[in-house]
Amino acid sequence: MPRVAPADFPWPNGLFVVGWFGSDAVCCGGLKRHSADACEIKRMYVLPERRGHGFGLALIGRLERPGWSLGRRVALLGTGERHAAARRMYKHAGYVFVESFSSNPFHAWSRAKRLDA
């Protein structure tokens, strides 16, 4: 199974962001290079008690901007069947169906968003 390691996130090929609310870390997510024109959003997480308050959408926007600035024109992401709330958020953020881009067996749901649109 594919894995994600800290070495996958150093700038300029990646980035890992922690979102704070006051002195509390409430969300995190990473961005890594997938190909010359695509980046992949990885390890998105929002604390359960902070879900539904816009932290996830803010985080995904924060991750998309560096992808665009690095010349990536598409953001990819995948998630599993059990993450219905995440799938709704990604759809709300403009992600649309694409064929699987990963060999990860837990990516039952693959989506993409054009960053240059």
- Domains along the chain with CATH numbers: 8-114 (3.40.630.30)
> With 70 as the cut, is the pLDDT of residue 96 above it?
yes
> With 70 as the cut, is the pLDDT of residue 117 above it?
no
What does the pLDDT average to over 21-41? 94
Please tell me the predicted confidence (pLDDT) of residue 1.
Answer: 54
Please tell me the predicted confidence (pLDDT) of residue 101.
Answer: 82
Confidence of residue 29 (pLDDT cuts 50, 70, 90): very high
Q: Which residue has the tokens 């968003």?
A: 113
Confidence of residue 9 (pLDDT cuts 50, 70, 90): confident
Average pLDDT of the chain? Answer: 89
CA distance 38 to 108: 19
